[in-house]
A and B are shown apart, each in its own frame.
Chain A
Amino acid sequence: MTTPLLQTRGLARAFGPVIALRSVDLTVAPGQVHALLGANGAGKSTVVKILTGVLRADAGSIAVHGEEVTLSRPADAQARGLAPVFQDPAMAPDLTVVQNLRLTGVDVAEVHRVLADMDLDGLDLTEQVRDVPLPFLRMLDLARALARDPQLLLLDEITAALPPDLSERVFGLMRRWKEQNRSVLFISHRLAEVREHCDMCTVLRDGRDVDSFVPAQGGEAQIVSTMLGEAAAGVREEARGRAREGSRPVVLEARNLAAGRNLRDVSFTVAAGEVLGLVALEGQGQDLLFDVLSGNRHSDSGELVIEGRAVRADHPFDVIRHGVVLVPSDRLQALLPQRSVRENIAAPLFNRVARWGPINGREERRRVHDAVSRLSIDTRAGSQVRRLSGGNQQKVTIARWLAPGLRVMLLFDPTRGIDVGTKHQVYDLIRSLADDGAAILMFTSELREVALVCDRAAVLHNGTIVAELPPDAGESALLRAAHGLETVG
């Protein structure tokens, strides 16, 4: 048997208390297109960062052609023949493309040759990077990586921002690359691409490699079930969400919303008392959708209808006025971390309680007290919100909207980084808000939350809603839909 081109043993990495990688063994043979797969949070991007010298592993070893290597900087990885193409093009926006190439010592003529190979020799390389459209930047980034004549090409979600014809050119290139006995480590959420173009795949789950197999033989079904593991077959907790009977008034409606590159055409409705779960893989347009819904960004087209009235939002205040509030994923971004629980909860009230004069202390205290007792927030560390646990912080972000009153709550991955016990308190809280008549849209990266909390699930893929499923549809159906595959009835 030949020496593997790349072999990792027991790669591990923790970020503070969060363990991203427990132990990953990965073997890529020469001349192989190898897919690295896993659900959100399985550890793919951490592996890529370690292999490219962006992060250092806490434990484990990396061998290239059988020789153990230490990668402490991206330049080290490049010197070892590992050439990455990152999700965000690694180019300085204020320089021209040519300057960016010279900066890293890449032979410009070689890049021209590679581009000609991909039928892209018409690209003007003296253009400033900020003026080049994103898909072409990724192609240029790829050409730069290839021009270094690497042994292993690491492609992190390269097709995510590419139109199909450019993707095809990438695949053609991968085939030719393989014939020269070079290898590719291919990371993609698009399982069809993996099945068609990869010789081997390794699936990660919870920071471990769980299985390696030939994707064309196992098919997408095996990939999905390996990615989910026991979770799919395992214990099912009591589902709280249920499809509601009868008709309730629609509170929030999106009509053909489109914005930027990633949000093409999204329509849905959320009724009073309903929790709509939104499921999507990374980068399918959910960030843009929440930006548009929360008034943080204009939509390019389409309408946002709140309680039957089309709302043109120039500013988050415009939707908050209509009772639409956002709980973002980064809690510390929403809160005032150095200030007390009381001030945090009262902050959205300032434009009501205060009017023009000084803030009415008694009124403020009363409303804050109501919210705190209702959510059973542990306020012992209440003098500074940043000292609270993640779960209590999340409760405060939700609580601050209770006092001024709300009609629609937009939750973006509300339980990210929260321990299991508090997660359930947050679920209870979301349900009780809905029972009080709020319309709730919740994006979640944990598929099990759909069954636990939601009344309906909408699946966002490639900037549009591709499926609407009942909460008990099951995780594999959700995951298949999220990968853009046909849902089986």
Chain B
Amino acid sequence: MTSPTASVHRVATSIPEPTGGLQRFLHRQAWTTGVAVLMVLLVLWRTSQVPHFGDFEIRTITAGAMSLAFLAMAQALVVISGGIDLSVGAMLVFTNCLSALWMDGKGLGECIGIAVAVVAIAIAMSSLIGVIITVSGVPDIIVTLAASFTISGLALVVLKSPGGGASLDFQKLVAGGLNDYWPSLLWTVGTLALVWLPLRRTRLGLAIYAVGSNRGASFLAGVNVARTRVLAYSLGGLFAGLAGIITTAYTGGGEPRASIGANATLNSVAAVVLGGVALTGGVGGLAGPVMAAVCLSLIPAIMLGRGWDPSYAETWRGVIIIAVVLVGGLVQTRRRAT
């Protein structure tokens, strides 16, 4: 046996080498880059299918993916903070119905006011869900699942059957005319650039990541964990409410079926996972899920273009999600091991 203290005093500890710029970028943004590549490939595939790829086709992609993109942002925020919100889809349906009911027959100005009010209601409801979760200590998944039933029910109370409407000007302002892709593109990219990027740099933005990354360490560091989690749900409510307004503008009416909400929730989780947000929290961003939402909504169109039976679209979505997450996971474990 060696003498007790011999091994201790040898090493002079050297400061670790900083990692280089490109390596660090790949290290941190690998997943987002991968999703961007996948999105570009799918868009190119889609362009190759139609004889003339013009404004109408672009608008179909951008406006068609828009509501799922916003719903994915809502889900991503909550998941990054270490939770999960199974009520985002129901919230989309509810805000869709409420705004369609109120906007029916109104002018542009009134519609904008109604949109703000409806989004505020969504924020208030999601904040309440967040408060219930943090105060009661009941897991997120249970509270939000229960909330999704309640909110789906409310949507049916508001709008008994498909109907309602919105001013055409408002629809054009949000989703663009049939050949105008700019509004949908600008709203989505603008939200990412003007809301998310600045938010990410604030104390709140950092706290959302920190709380999702390690709740205990964040608490010890003096972060107000409960408030941060509630605010993550509030922000989720903001984006879910916007997704509902976008649905009203895109479809020109309200559709209260609960199955739409349930399906939308599952799609939002799929987009979040595909977009590189870890379900364990603390990892990822909003750009990845948005691009993943575009990918997910392109799949049925591409299948239709190939002449394949679009009934298999869901199956292929599943296959793609599993394949991407599997490959991404393998790449990450390999990186850790080295």
Residues of A within 8 A of B (CB): 52, 54, 73-75, 78, 84, 86, 88-95, 99-100, 102-105, 120, 122-124, 126-128, 131-133, 135-136, 163-166, 264-265, 267, 461-462, 464-467, 484
Task: Specify which chain A residues have a CB less than 8 angstroms from the CB of B327 in the assembled complex.
Answer: none
- Which of B175-183, B210-218, B311-319 forms contacts with chain A? B210-218
Q: B203 is contacted by which of A88, A105, A464 (Cβ under 8 Å)? A: A105
Q: Is B224 an interface position by the 8 A CB rule?
A: yes
A128 touches B28 (CB 8 A): yes
Q: Is B2 an interface position by the 8 A CB rule?
A: yes
A94 touches B283 (CB 8 A): yes
Compute how far the CA of A123 lies from the CA of B7 in the bound complex, rounded to whole angstroms. Answer: 26
Q: How far is the CB of A342 from chain B (nearest CB, A)?
A: 31
Compute how far the CA of A93 lies from the CA of B280 in the bound complex, rounded to whole angstroms. Answer: 13
Q: B196-208, CB under 8 A of A: which get 1 and which 0?
A: 0000000100110
Q: Is B219 an interface position by the 8 A CB rule?
A: yes
B1 touches A165 (CB 8 A): no
Q: Across the two chains, which residue of chain A brings its CB closest to B203?
A: A103
A90 touches B217 (CB 8 A): yes
Q: Across the two chains, which residue of chain A brings its CB closest to B12?
A: A165
A264 touches B1 (CB 8 A): no
Q: How far is the CB of A103 from chain B (nearest CB, A)?
A: 4
B220 touches A54 (CB 8 A): yes
Q: A95 is contacted by which of B9, B15, B206 (Cβ under 8 Å)? A: B206
Q: How far is the CB of B220 from chain A (nearest CB, A)?
A: 4
B16 touches A75 (CB 8 A): no
Q: Is B282 an interface position by the 8 A CB rule?
A: yes
Compute how far the CA of A93 lies from the CA of B210 in the bound complex, rounded to whole angstroms. Answer: 8
Please indicate which of the listed interface residues B1, B16, B221, B224 has the most CB atoms of chain A within 10 Å of its own CB.
B221
Q: Is B222 an interface position by the 8 A CB rule?
A: yes
What are 16 sample pairs from A and B whose C-beta atoms fall under 8 A apart? A52-B220, A74-B220, A74-B221, A88-B216, A91-B221, A92-B214, A94-B213, A94-B282, A100-B206, A124-B19, A132-B16, A135-B13, A136-B15, A164-B8, A164-B9, A461-B4
Compute how far the CA of A122 lies from the CA of B2 in the bound complex, rounded to whole angstroms. Answer: 34
Q: Tell me if B's interface is mostly helix, strand, loop or mixed.
A: loop
Task: Specify which chain B residues have a CB less than 8 angstroms from the CB of A120 in the assembled complex.
Answer: 15
Task: Specify which chain B residues have a CB less than 8 angstroms from the CB of A466 in the assembled complex.
Answer: 4
A92 touches B12 (CB 8 A): no
Q: Is B333 an interface position by the 8 A CB rule?
A: no
Q: How far is the CB of A324 from chain B (nearest CB, A)?
A: 23
Task: Specify which chain B residues have a CB less than 8 angstroms from the CB of A91 in the assembled complex.
Answer: 214, 217, 221
Q: Across the two chains, which residue of chain A brings its CB closest to B207?
A: A103
B13 touches A104 (CB 8 A): no
Compute how far the CA of A74 lies from the CA of B219 in the bound complex, rounded to whole angstroms. Answer: 7
Q: Across the two chains, which residue of chain A brings its CB closest to B15?
A: A122
Compute how far the CA of A54 lies from the CA of B282 in the bound complex, rounded to whole angstroms. Answer: 22
Q: How far is the CB of A487 from chain B (nearest CB, A)?
A: 10
Q: How far is the CB of A433 from chain B (nearest CB, A)?
A: 28
Beyond A52-B220, A74-B220, A165-B13, list 5 extra A-B contacts (CB 8 Å): A88-B217, A93-B214, A123-B15, A124-B19, A466-B4
Q: Is B116 an interface position by the 8 A CB rule?
A: no
Q: B210 is contacted by which of A103, A122, A267, A467 (Cβ under 8 Å)? A: A103
Q: B222 is contacted by which of A78, A94, A166, A267 (Cβ under 8 Å)? A: A78
Task: Specify which chain A residues have a CB less than 8 angstroms from the CB of B54 in the assembled complex.
Answer: none
Task: Specify which chain A residues have a CB less than 8 angstroms from the CB of B283 in the assembled complex.
Answer: 94
Please indicate which of the listed interface residues B13, B16, B203 has the most CB atoms of chain A within 10 Å of its own CB.
B13
Q: Is B223 an interface position by the 8 A CB rule?
A: yes
Q: Is B136 an interface position by the 8 A CB rule?
A: no
A265 touches B221 (CB 8 A): no
A95 touches B209 (CB 8 A): yes
Q: Is B338 an interface position by the 8 A CB rule?
A: no
B217 touches A127 (CB 8 A): no
Q: Is B113 an interface position by the 8 A CB rule?
A: no
Q: Across the two chains, which residue of chain B brings its CB closest to A481?
A: B4
Q: Across the two chains, which residue of chain A brings its CB closest to B336?
A: A130
Task: Specify which chain B residues have a CB less than 8 angstroms from the CB of A127 in the assembled complex.
Answer: 16, 18-19
A103 touches B13 (CB 8 A): no
Compute how far the CA of A78 lies from the CA of B13 in the bound complex, rounded to whole angstroms. Answer: 30
A100 touches B221 (CB 8 A): yes
Q: A265 is contacted by which of B2, B5, B13, B211 (Cβ under 8 Å)? A: B2
B213 touches A92 (CB 8 A): yes
Please give me the 3 A-B residue pairs with the lowest Cβ-Cβ distance, nearest first: A124-B18, A92-B210, A90-B220
Task: Specify which chain A residues have a CB less than 8 angstroms from the CB of B9 in the assembled complex.
Answer: 164
Compute how far the CA of A328 lies from the CA of B114 in the bound complex, rounded to whole angstroms. Answer: 60
B207 touches A89 (CB 8 A): no
Task: Specify which chain A residues have a CB less than 8 angstroms from the CB of B214 in the assembled complex.
Answer: 91-93
Q: Is B11 an interface position by the 8 A CB rule?
A: yes
Task: Specify which chain B residues have a CB less than 8 angstroms from the CB of A99 in the assembled complex.
Answer: 206, 209-210
B1 touches A465 (CB 8 A): yes
Task: List residues 1-56 of chain B with CB under 8 A from any CB of chain A.
Answer: 1-2, 4-5, 7-9, 11-13, 15-16, 18-19, 28
With A92-B213, A163-B11, A267-B1 given, is the CB distance from A104 to B221 under 8 Å?
yes
A100 touches B210 (CB 8 A): yes
Task: Specify which chain A residues have a CB less than 8 angstroms from the CB of B209 in the assembled complex.
Answer: 92, 94-95, 99
Task: Specify which chain A residues have a CB less than 8 angstroms from the CB of B211 in the assembled complex.
Answer: 92
Compute how far the CA of A73 lies from the CA of B222 in the bound complex, rounded to whole angstroms. Answer: 7
Q: Across the two chains, which residue of chain A brings its CB closest to B16?
A: A133
Please indicate which of the listed interface residues B18, B207, B210 has the most CB atoms of chain A within 10 Å of its own CB.
B210
Task: Specify which chain B residues have a CB less than 8 angstroms from the CB of A92 in the assembled complex.
Answer: 209-211, 213-214, 217-218, 221, 282
Compute how far the CA of A132 lies from the CA of B19 in the bound complex, rounded to whole angstroms. Answer: 11
Compute how far the CA of A123 lies from the CA of B217 in the bound complex, rounded to whole angstroms. Answer: 21
Q: How far is the CB of A314 from chain B (nearest CB, A)?
A: 16
Compute how far the CA of A118 lies from the CA of B154 in the bound complex, rounded to whole angstroms. Answer: 61
Q: How far is the CB of B293 from chain A (nearest CB, A)?
A: 23
B16 touches A484 (CB 8 A): no
With A74-B219, A90-B217 given, is the CB distance from A166 to B13 under 8 Å?
yes
Compute how far the CA of A136 lies from the CA of B13 in the bound complex, rounded to whole angstroms. Answer: 10
Q: B276-294, CB under 8 A of A: which get 1 and which 0?
A: 0000001100000000000
Task: Specify which chain B residues have a CB less than 8 angstroms from the CB of A94 in the assembled complex.
Answer: 209, 212-213, 282-283
Compute how far the CA of A99 lies from the CA of B206 in the bound complex, rounded to whole angstroms. Answer: 7
Compute how far the CA of A94 lies from the CA of B223 in the bound complex, rounded to whole angstroms. Answer: 15
Compute how far the CA of A20 lies from the CA of B213 in the bound complex, rounded to whole angstroms. Answer: 30
Task: Specify which chain B residues have a CB less than 8 angstroms from the CB of A84 in the assembled complex.
Answer: 220
Please indicate which of the listed interface residues A94, A123, A127, A163 has the most CB atoms of chain B within 10 Å of its own CB.
A94
Q: How far is the CB of A406 from chain B (nearest CB, A)?
A: 28
Q: How far is the CB of B173 from chain A (nearest CB, A)?
A: 36
Compute how far the CA of A182 lies from the CA of B19 in the bound complex, rounded to whole angstroms. Answer: 37
Q: How far is the CB of A201 from chain B (nearest CB, A)?
A: 23
